[in-house]
């Protein structure tokens, strides 16, 4: 089972996933040597503190501040955490709408909170699009596979 599969199964609740597209990441970035190359970029699965630091180093913004900004719009982020559908594409169809980067973490089931959190562990994913907008997507662990 890969690190991503373990994360998506809720077995790495202390870790975060950070994905950077090739278009956003410099060819000589040291993040390439730390992460796993994908078809369109690099995915890193790191312990929470290291992951938040890597996110800040790679994007210039704090992970949780980015997440709060992205929560304002709900979009579709692939289970593989390296692709998505920007919810602003209909409003601005002439703009380019490709994932620049994704930040994701999983939160343990919490029946007291209710909603999705009562159903199981929840993956929170936040994406930044080439159009300049950010969006979020969350789901209960086990309801999606890495695509």
Please give the DSSP secondary-structure letter assigned to residue 144.
-
Over its length of 147 residues, how does the chain's per-residue pLDDT go in tens digits?
789 999 999 999 999 999 999 988 888 887 788 888 888 999 999 999 999 998 998 899 999 999 999 999 999 999 999 999 999 998 888 889 999 999 999 999 999 998 999 999 999 999 999 999 999 999 999 887 555
- pLDDT for residue 146: 54
Q: What count of Cα atoms within 13 Å lies in the side-chain half-sphere of residue 95?
A: 15
Residue 108 vs residues 40, 42, 118, 141: alpha-carbon distances, Å:
30, 26, 10, 10
The residues with which 126 forms a beta bridge, in sequence order, are 103, 136
pLDDT score of 33: 83
Q: Using DSSP, state whether 125 is helix, strand or coil.
A: strand
Whole-model pTM: value is 0.92
Whether 84 and 119 have beta carbons less than 8 Å apart is answered as no
**Cβ 128 vs Cβ 101: under 8 Å:** yes
- Whole-number pLDDT of residue 145: 56
What pLDDT shows up at residue 9?
Answer: 92
For the chain, which residues make up each domain, given as ranges? 3-140
pLDDT the model gives residue 16 = 96
């Amino acid at each position: 089972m890969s690190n991503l599969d373990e994360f998506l199964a809720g077995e790495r609740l202390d870790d975060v996933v950070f994905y950077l597209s090739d278009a956003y990441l410099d060819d000589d970035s040291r993040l390439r040597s730390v992460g796993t190359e994908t078809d369109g970029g690099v995915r890193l699965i790191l312990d929470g503190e290291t992951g938040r630091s890597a996110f800040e180093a790679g994007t210039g913004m704090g992970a949780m501040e980015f997440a709060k900004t992205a929560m304002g719009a709900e979009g579709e982020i692939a289970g593989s955490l390296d692709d998505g559908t920007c919810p602003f594409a209909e409003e601005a169809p002439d703009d380019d709408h490709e994932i620049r980067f994704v930040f994701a973490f999983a939160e343990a089931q919490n029946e007291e909170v209710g909603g999705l959190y009562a159903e199981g562990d929840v993956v929170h994913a936040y994406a930044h699009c080439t159009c300049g907008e950010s969006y979020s997507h969350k789901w209960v662990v086990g309801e999606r596979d890495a695509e």
